[in-house]
Amino acid sequence: MIEKIPFGRTGHMSSRTLFGAAALGGVSQDVAERTLDLILEYGVNHIDTAHSYGAAEERLGPWLKHHRDEFFLATKTEKRTYEGAWAELRTSLDLLHTDHIDLWQMHILVDPEEWETAMGPGGALEAFVEAREQGLVRYLGVTGHGVTIPQMHLRSLERFDFDSVLLPYNYTMMQNPAYAAGFETLYALCLERKVAVQTIKALSKGPWGDKPQTRSCWYEPFEADDEIETAVSYVLNRPHTFLNTIGDVDLLPKVLAAAARFQPTDQAELDVRMSQIEMDPLFV
């Protein structure tokens, strides 16, 4: 079974491996439900989805009708205005067959102009606070990709006391000195405030580039067992972090198995093992 730790200050003991429901965006209902049954076997009790993940919310809904109380459920919106965010939340609640979301997140909040809209008068933040006051959502977070996201998350946490952040964390990202410094500053602040730190792109080998896209991930993923094992361990070896799983249902069993086997390891040894794997930065 996969270890559970406190999800920030929410009081929920979440599995350190969160199910990234982007993997369900393009699959059938039957495949989705078999995948969800699998995460139950590993003790995963936290689902992270988004309205923009294809049909993911639609696939989750029928299954969640029978399992809602077993999961901390998170979704996201890319809408930056009050009206847009509210409308999307109502749709997400309907699709997910639930009366509340545990964690509602502003998704991919990277662009400074979009940030100003979301955080300003008539912006999404007003809808987030209001939805929490009405009990439709319990906790609030921000997510993002790219090399500037640690600084943007720090800016968001200065503006509002969010309960969680989500951002890339893997070996190649941490070889970028500017990104690594930003990540460490953000991580320290999150520990101080008990803000949950969710990580993504642990399994990224790099951009597809000119290669044929043979997996449903938008990046080329690790596929070899030893590479997946090492990449998963690299993330879980940092205390208090959560690993968001891979966007490919066929590779998911390997990721879950690696997470269930994880034991704390000497970080220098992990760095050496990661450096020996052929990979490229996903974000530059």
Pairing of strands 101-106, 137-143: parallel
Are residues 75 and 101 in contact, defined by beta-carbon separation less than 8 angstroms? yes
Q: What is the fold of 4-275?
A: TIM Barrel (3.20.20)
Burial class (CB in 10 A: 0-12, 13-18, 19+), 209: exposed
| All structural domains of the chain with their residue ranges | 4-275
In 107-186, the DSSP E strands lie at 137-143, 164-168
Taken in order 124, 129, 132, 138, the sign of the CA dihedral is positive
What pTM does this model have? 0.96
> What tens-digit pLDDT sequence spans the chain (284 residues)?
999 999 999 999 999 999 999 999 999 999 999 999 999 999 999 999 999 999 999 999 999 999 999 999 999 999 999 999 999 999 999 999 999 999 999 999 999 999 999 999 999 999 999 999 999 999 999 999 999 999 999 999 999 999 999 999 999 999 999 999 999 999 999 999 999 999 999 999 999 988 888 888 888 899 999 999 999 999 999 999 999 999 999 999 999 999 999 999 999 999 999 999 999 998 88
CA angle 210, 216, 218 (to 5 degrees): 50
